[in-house]
Amino acid sequence: MISFASIQLPPPPPPPLRHHHSTLVSAHLHKTTMYQPDRFRFFPHVSSISSNARPVHSSGSSLASVAPLEAILFDIDGTLCDSDPLHFYAFRDMLQEIGFNGGTPITEEFFIKNISGKHNEELREILLPDWEIQRSRKFLEDKEALFRRLASEQLQPMKGLQKLCKWIEDCGLRRAAVTNAPRSNAELLISMLGLTDFFESLVLASECDRVKPFPDPYLKALQELGISHHHAFVFEDSVSGIKAGTGAGMPVVGLGTRNPEQLLTEAGAVFVIEDFDDPKLWTELEELKIKAEVTTTTEL
């Protein structure tokens, strides 16, 4: 069982009365303050993306194949910050309010298997298949508002994130954030983490033809950075994100903070780390740095 106990969440509300099961969330969820930074380069919709990339299949725990390294791409939720417990609480509260599963709160296992890492359009079909489209979209919009309220109060960066970002800057590497999340969520989290100036681009899956687990968002990020998939890798925490990164031809390092290591490895992660302070990660990064220095010396 994956525990969210490190985040102090309030207990689920009592089961609603049966005649309230069709009621959407209460009005207090609409009071969330929205962060709207506008420094990012948002890119227009691309009708199709072509690539010679082929899915990466794990053949060990090394990032050596991407040397010389030129770029690192990041997922946001659950990767830059430990936001899954906040998403879990928001879904647990609101699904119980509408009588989902007979009013019994969803479990962490249900969240990991059926919700984590998925796009809201996919979640409409999974959680609310019998609802009208506009009604289910409104429900999920209200859920995101509750998440942003919780994030504004409790969000913490992934351990070691600041150290990693400094290393990336010192090495002169390109970087992009790639997410299935709505724009308002992505902007809020990046702003709160102090990374508005760190990322060169923010790629939203909703602006691509297909969302994760399809490779389109990561192909879009490579296209905008002008980097080959041969010289970049990805940080991801979910099965759908790992499949998207490997589908775009890049190695993916899994963040195992919340999802089981076996699940991420089976999805295609080259290796899994606990957080950005994990010695395994830094061994790999230093080896890449040495390879880059050797390559530069040879070329001279």
Instruction: Give me the active site residues, please.
Output: 75, 77
d(CA 62, CA 41): 32
Q: Is 17 exposed, middle or buried (0-12, 13-18, 19+ CB in 10 A)?
A: exposed
3-state DSSP assignment of residue 242: helix
Give 3-state DSSP helix, strand, coil % of the chain, rounded to 5: 45, 10, 45
Q: Encoding tokens for residue 172?
A: 């002169």
What are the φ and ψ backbone dihedral angles of 203, each rounded to 5 degrees? -105, 120
Q: Which of 264, 270, 265 is nearest to 249 (CA)?
A: 270
d(CA 9, CA 3): 12
Is residue 213 reached through a cis peptide bond, with omega within 30 degrees of 0 on the bond before it?
A: yes
d(CA 237, CA 234): 10
